[in-house]
Amino acid sequence: MSHDSILLTPGPLTTSLRTKLAMLRDWGSWDVEFNNVTASVRHSLLKIVDGEDTHIVVPLQGSGTFSVEAAVATLVPTSGHILVLDNGAYCKRAAKLSTLMGRRCTLMPFADHEAVSPAALGEKLAADSSITHVVLIHCETGAGVLNPMQEVADVCAEFNKGLIIDAMSSFAALEIDARKTRFDALIAASGKCLEGVPGMGFVFIRKEVLDKCAGQSQSLAMDLYDQHAYMEKTGQWRFTPPTHVVVALAEAIAQFEEEGGQPARLARYTRNCETLIQGMAALGFKPFLDPAIQAPIIVTFHAPAHPNYEFKRFYDAAKSRGFILYPGKLTQVETFRVGCIGAIGPVEMEQAVHAVALALKDLGIPSGAPA
């Protein structure tokens, strides 16, 4: 193919030409001009969550998972006890990395087609006073579930527990207001709803808990307290930054602000999601989730029941028409996922549905209806 495919995934995702062009220049990592870009990005990120008065933000090299691991290691002491609210694959990943870092960790399981329960969390915290921190995945993209962040935050505040929110796939699309929602840390990344490129995460940390974080991380490179202290002192990153990723994010943020910020981005993604679900329904496909908990980020569909269906062939047929789908993340039911985010709109979603229709035709499948 002579043109880029559209990425219907939860990140990396399709970026604008302006964002791509921003990466065509080389930058000195200690140069004052690049340091100014870093400072501007940090300031803009804080504005998005209205956190200028209550939080600081620390950028970190690497994928979003790097920043989740860094946040847990920096905020949770070795004597701490983490409770992970688990309704999907990324919840389990948070628990695994917490355990690997030597933190005591308990999983609180929920079904992958349900949101986590704030009431059940309250009962758990009342019954186990050893828990010091709760980890919540805001949008669990294993299935696409939107979890009740505000209600979970309220329960954690009631019991005076630290809350660490993985907002990887929700930040900049769904409303997050640090003035309303009490959290100790919130984590997101460049290659998601801000529509930058992958390679950089960032963690918002509540100022009230920052000083307690000194010396808690067992990692040199992923110590967010030290990273923040060094940036505040010098304006620089401690170790070689992903310069092209940072300047691309600065350009992506400029476009985010021009579009109208979080409300406008949510509106576009919601239209994308509605267009996708309606179009796929006309082909017989059924979403995995109840609409009440479906986030407008990524939609999981049941695989067609037809014996000719095989995901790799289906994927290749859609790719040949310029659209990259995403495999399912569930273990009990065969599914696939289609993202609604990135520098795309309803027209591209209509084209994607048409590509799926042609893929079904290629495979000799008359309908996408599940078993």
Q: Which of 290, 235, 178 is nearest to 188 (CA)?
A: 178
- 228 C-beta neighbours (distance < 10 Å), count: 21
Distance CA 170, CA 174 (A): 5
Residue 137, helix vs strand vs coil: strand
Dump pLDDT digits (tens) for 38-56: 999 999 999 999 999 999 9
pLDDT by residue (tens digit) across 323-352? 999 999 887 899 999 999 999 999 999 999
Rounded to two decimals, the pTM is 0.96
So what CATH class is 17-258?
Answer: alpha beta
Sign of CA dihedral 141, 169, 282, 15: negative
Instruction: Return the pLDDT at 4.
Output: 87
- Phi and psi (nearest 5°) for 145? -75, 135
Q: Where are the domains of the chain?
A: 6-10+261-363, 17-258
Task: Count CA within 13 A, CB hemisphere, residue 152.
Answer: 25
The answer to whether residue 2 scores a pLDDT higher than 60 is: no
Query: Rounded to 5, what percent of the chain is helix, strand, coil?
Result: 40, 20, 40
Architecture of domain 6-10+261-363: Alpha-Beta Complex (3.90)
Give tens-digit pLDDT for 47-99: 999 999 999 999 999 999 999 999 999 999 999 999 999 999 999 999 999 99
Contact by Cβ (8 Å): 71, 162: no
Following CA atoms 358, 363, 365, 368 in sequence, which dihedral angle do they give, to the nearest 10 degrees?
-60
- SS3 of 304-369: the string is CCCCCCCHHHHHHHHHCCCEECEECCCCCCCEEEEECCCCCCHHHHHHHHHHHHHHHHHHCCCCCC
pLDDT digits (tens, 9 = 90+) for 220-230: 999 999 999 99
Q: 145-197 pLDDT, tens per residue?
A: 999 999 999 999 999 999 999 999 999 999 999 999 999 999 999 999 999 99
